[in-house]
Amino acid sequence: RHTHNPFEGLAMRNEATDRRRVRRAFTDDELDALLDAARRRPLEEGLRKRPRSGLSKQVEAKFRRVGECRAFLYAFAAGTGLRRGELAGLTWADVDAERATVTVRASVAKSKRMAELPLRSDLAATLADQATRVRAHGLGTGPRDRVFPGPLFPTHGTVARDLAYAGLDGEDDQGRVLDLHSLRVTFISRLSAAGVHPRTTQALARHAKIDLTMRVYTDLRLLDLRGAVDRAGRSLRRTAASSEATAC
């Protein structure tokens, strides 16, 4: 019987300094640019490929639908924090526009646990409009039909091309990247920037540990650090004014 530990003598790696892929959040302007680019790119590239003959009304409508669907997917991801697999597996039975909720089934959740999450009212309204448009195109909105059908779901390359079309770099000078999962980082960072309690943010992010929420998924650039310092300073000044000042 072998008692040798093959990991004996190996030093623990520092996860904070050894992260393979560090993502950052989108700013408001960057997110607007991405949504606009995703909406325009399919049709504009289609027209560019046929400058003389143009596109039939049917093909033009198809390109418009692809762009609208992709832009909505990005907006939905940024507004819910759902992961790629959760978005890809989302069915119409999982969304309730009237109650403004979305259910992440255990079968598609990373944690393998079902969760019901609140939806922003504007996203719930857009979902209802999206269902109407899908039915108008003769496509299904039954319980098992996907909200974001496979053929319309963006690949990693599609997201990269949308970013480039929006004039956004996929990686900044610090090596932090923008990709589809960055929309989840954006959602969580915006909650923190809005002053949401960390425990509430953790619950909405569905993280087992709050350290993951705060350290990995909160982009400090979106937080009002200077405002926090100023508010603390005003509080300190009020405290000092109410007591006798002592010189150093």
| pLDDT tens-digit profile, the chain (248 residues) | 556 666 565 555 544 444 567 999 999 999 999 999 999 999 999 999 888 788 899 999 999 999 999 999 999 999 999 999 999 999 999 999 889 999 999 999 998 999 999 999 999 999 888 888 878 777 777 888 999 988 889 999 999 999 999 999 989 888 999 999 999 999 999 999 888 898 999 999 999 999 988 888 888 777 776 666 676 666 555 555 555 544 44
Asked whether the beta carbons of 76 and 123 are under 8 A apart, the reply is: yes
| pLDDT of the residue at 14 | 47
| pLDDT of the residue at 133 | 81
Helix (H) or strand (E) holding 71: helix 57-80
Distance CA 163, CA 166 (A): 5
Which residues lie closer than 8 Å to 109 by C-beta, 6 or more apart? 86, 115, 206
Rounded to two decimals, the pTM is 0.82
Distance CA 29, CA 42 (A): 21
Instruction: Report which DSSP code applies to 213.
Output: I
Residues in a beta bridge with 171: 177
Name the burial class of residue 186, with classes exposed (0-12), middle (13-18) and buried (19+) by CB atoms within 10 angstroms of its CB. buried
Token pair, residue 29, equals 């302007």
Residues in a beta bridge with 95: 102
Asked whether the beta carbons of 133 and 54 are under 8 A apart, the reply is: no
Which residues lie closer than 8 Å to 27 by C-beta, 6 or more apart? 221, 222
Asked whether the beta carbons of 74 and 183 are under 8 A apart, the reply is: yes
Distance CA 189, CA 201 (A): 9
Distance CA 201, CA 97 (A): 22
For residues 205-239, one letter each, b for 16 or more C-beta atoms within 10 angstroms of the residue's C-beta and e for the rest, the string is bbbeeeeebbebbbbeebbeeeeeeeeeeeeeeee
Distance CA 55, CA 48 (A): 10
Asked whether the beta carbons of 84 and 108 are under 8 A apart, the reply is: no
Asked whether the beta carbons of 162 and 36 are under 8 A apart, the reply is: no
